[in-house]
Amino acid sequence: MAFKRLVSKFIDMLGNRRGNVAMIFSLSLLPVTLLSGGAVDLSQAMNARSRLSQALDAAALAVGVNTSLSNEDAMEIANNFIAANYPGRELGTVVDVVVQQDDENDTVTVSGAARVRTTMLGLAGIDFITVHWESQVQRARSRLELVMVLDNTGSMGGSKIRSLRDSAELLTEILYDAADETGDVQIGLVPFAATVNVGTQYERDWWLDPDARSPQHGEWGGNTVEVETCTGWGWRRRCTTEEYRINHWDLFDQIRNSSWQGCVEARAIPHDIEDTPPSNSRPETLFVPYFSPDEPDNGRYSNSYLDDQTSGGVNERLTYMPKYDGASAWSSYTNRSCTTTPITPLTTNERTVQNAIDAMDASGTTNIPNGIGWGVRVISPGEPFTQGVSWNDDEVIKAMVILTDGDNVMSGRNTDLMSDYEAYGYAVDGRLGRRSSSGNVLSRELDDRTEAACDYAKSLGIRVYTITFQVSSSSTRELMEGCATHPSLYFDSPSDEALEAAFETIASDLTNLRISR
């Protein structure tokens, strides 16, 4: 009944000639409708403008990251990125795209418009609303120092190491091509596995402790052994006992068919991950050449390559030094965990970096914190590598890319030594901070050192990017995400294509392009 009364009143109003109520109502209805409908059309236009700005920003960045483009190629790249970021299903159509490359000021400007068909405003003869946008990018004048800390362990074999080489070479090419002048970009490389290789050209350099001052020389043998020397015969025989300091360099010299392959051991905590300068006055800061000692012959040990020459206990067999004198070692067991190609210090020479990347191979187990520690030293201004500028030089961006394809590993052993001999020596000596024969426990200790190494790198102002490549462990992915300077600088790459995309994204970011207006 109420509805019928409302209809009746409306009919009466239309028929009422007093005051021309019907005419006034009809005349006011059109502008009210246009205003309300027009608000919808304007809202659609603003949405189109927002999407247009994102598309043009992406196009400008894509053109800007490439140098020496022809105008035709620049327009093609811009249109491709606009199409990807403003597809046909979006509101309106992108028109009037213009790309301008200013080589003098090193800027790229991309402008365009979005033409949006109206709905209600068409009743007033306004069929389209056109919105405009302009994006400009400018390459910053800052210089760049980048070190790539890349997993070269056995699990990276086959197609994975090939994919890593391709992606790292692409990053290198993009960054050097984007340099305004020679010297603006320096790149270094740290391949890592269980140890890191600094290169045999540094053999017996002062910072590699040729005189065995560091307590880590022969730590596995108690650092020193007593050597008895006798002269004469019968009642004239005289013997003296001298304390002999175990020196890894001397042991390499004594073995006829083995030499140092360039790997070094981790220093004691906290120097293992920090940029503490080596100093003869502080022996614990010196670096020690990696030497894997001959282990007892009784079969329970994994690295026996010489005849023990004694029937004594485990410690006596391990520390009996005469067995090394003039011996021939089986295979390369003295360098057992030295499996990577050498570090490449920071260089402005692209070919040097590309050749080093191409030489990378896959072997060994994973020690991420050791790799990060050497990444910091490569980018550092101090010894042992001095190519980096001062930490407080605001004109230089210092960055690190860390990639791994798996969990940290330190192989525990059910022996008196508790583990294989790796960068942190034997677990029984506690150099990692924990004595345990459990591989899981030791690996967790390496995870803790990884977190500490990343925190230390970031505290120095290094921009840290991290990549996990086909990693199934959620804990490792979380570890590496937390390692990055920001979560947006972490990339989980489940495929070769995703890995290449991660390196391309990092390359784009490192060109230090920015939206300037």
Report how far residue 415's alpha carbon sits from residue 517's, in angstroms, rounded to the nearest whole number. Answer: 66
The single residue listed with the structure tokens 């080093």 is 356
Three-class DSSP category at 508: helix
Spatial contact of 60 and 101, defined as CB atoms under 8 Å apart: no
Phi first, then psi, for residue 260 (nearest 5°) are -65, 130
Report how far residue 507's alpha carbon sits from residue 489's, in angstroms, rounded to the nearest whole number. Answer: 12
Nearest to 412, CA basis, from 397, 427, 398: 427
Instruction: Return the pLDDT at 229.
Output: 75
Cα–Cα distances in angstroms (integers) from residue 80 to residues 55, 63, 424, in the given order = 10, 11, 51
| β-strand pairing of 93-102 with 143-151 | unpaired
Q: What are the residues facing 190 on neighbouring strands? A: 149
The single residue listed with the structure tokens 């840290």 is 464
Q: What are the residues facing 188 on neighbouring strands? A: 147
Three-class DSSP category at 358: helix
User: Strands, E, within 212-283: which ranges?
Assistant: 224-231, 238-245, 263-264
Report how far residue 292's alpha carbon sits from residue 282's, in angstroms, rounded to the nearest whole number. Answer: 24
Q: Which two tokens stand for residue 265?
A: 């051991």
Spatial contact of 189 and 355, defined as CB atoms under 8 Å apart: no
Three-class DSSP category at 394: coil
Spatial contact of 94 and 55, defined as CB atoms under 8 Å apart: yes
Report how far residue 13's alpha carbon sits from residue 311's, in angstroms, rounded to the nearest whole number. Answer: 120
Spatial contact of 180 and 252, defined as CB atoms under 8 Å apart: no
Nearest to 256, CA basis, from 329, 354, 163: 329
Report how far residue 402's alpha carbon sits from residue 462's, in angstroms, rounded to the nearest whole number. Answer: 12
Three-class DSSP category at 145: strand
Spatial contact of 37 and 148, defined as CB atoms under 8 Å apart: no
Report how far residue 304's alpha carbon sits from residue 12's, in angstroms, rounded to the nearest whole number. Answer: 111
Q: Which two tokens stand for residue 494?
A: 């489940």
Instruction: Return the pLDDT at 306.
Output: 92
The single residue listed with the structure tokens 């002048």 is 181
Read off the DSSP letter of residue 200.
G
Burial of 444 (0-12, 13-18, 19+ CB in 10 A): middle
| Helix ranges, 151-205 (H) | 159-177
The H or E element that residue 406 is part of is: none
Spatial contact of 429 and 266, defined as CB atoms under 8 Å apart: no
Report how far residue 412's alpha carbon sits from residue 389's, in angstroms, rounded to the nearest whole number. Answer: 40
Report how far residue 167's alpha carbon sits from residue 145's, in angstroms, rounded to the nearest whole number. Answer: 18
Report how far residue 67's alpha carbon sits from residue 154's, in angstroms, rounded to the nearest whole number. Answer: 37
Report how far residue 34's alpha carbon sits from residue 123's, in angstroms, rounded to the nearest whole number. Answer: 8
The single residue listed with the structure tokens 């230390």 is 456
Nearest to 105, CA basis, from 133, 58, 140, 70: 140
Q: Which two tokens stand for residue 417?
A: 């030594």
User: pLDDT 10s per residue in the chain (517 long)?
Assistant: 544 454 355 445 444 545 454 454 444 545 545 455 557 767 777 888 888 888 899 888 888 877 678 889 999 999 999 888 887 666 788 889 999 988 767 789 999 998 888 876 766 677 788 888 899 887 665 789 999 999 999 999 999 999 999 999 999 999 999 887 888 999 999 999 999 999 999 999 999 999 999 999 999 988 887 777 788 888 888 888 778 889 999 999 999 999 999 999 999 999 999 999 999 999 999 999 999 999 998 778 889 999 998 888 888 889 888 899 999 987 669 999 999 999 999 999 999 999 999 999 999 999 999 999 999 999 999 999 999 999 988 889 999 999 999 999 999 999 999 999 999 999 999 999 999 999 999 999 999 999 999 999 999 999 999 999 999 999 999 999 999 999 999 999 999 999 999 999 999 888 864 344 4
Phi first, then psi, for residue 190 (nearest 5°) are -125, 95
Calculate Rg over the CA atoms of the chain. 34
The H or E element that residue 139 is part of is: strand 128-139
How many CA atoms are closer than 13 Å to the CA of 350, on its beta-carbon side? 16
Instruction: Return the pLDDT at 51.
Output: 84
Spatial contact of 162 and 373, defined as CB atoms under 8 Å apart: no
Give every CB contact of residue 167 below 8 A, 6+ residues apart in sequence: 499, 500, 502, 503
Instruction: Return the pLDDT at 115.
Output: 87
User: Strands, E, within 428-507: which ranges?
Assistant: 463-469, 490-493
| Residue type at 13 in one-letter notation | M
| Helix ranges, 360-473 (H) | 368-379, 439-459
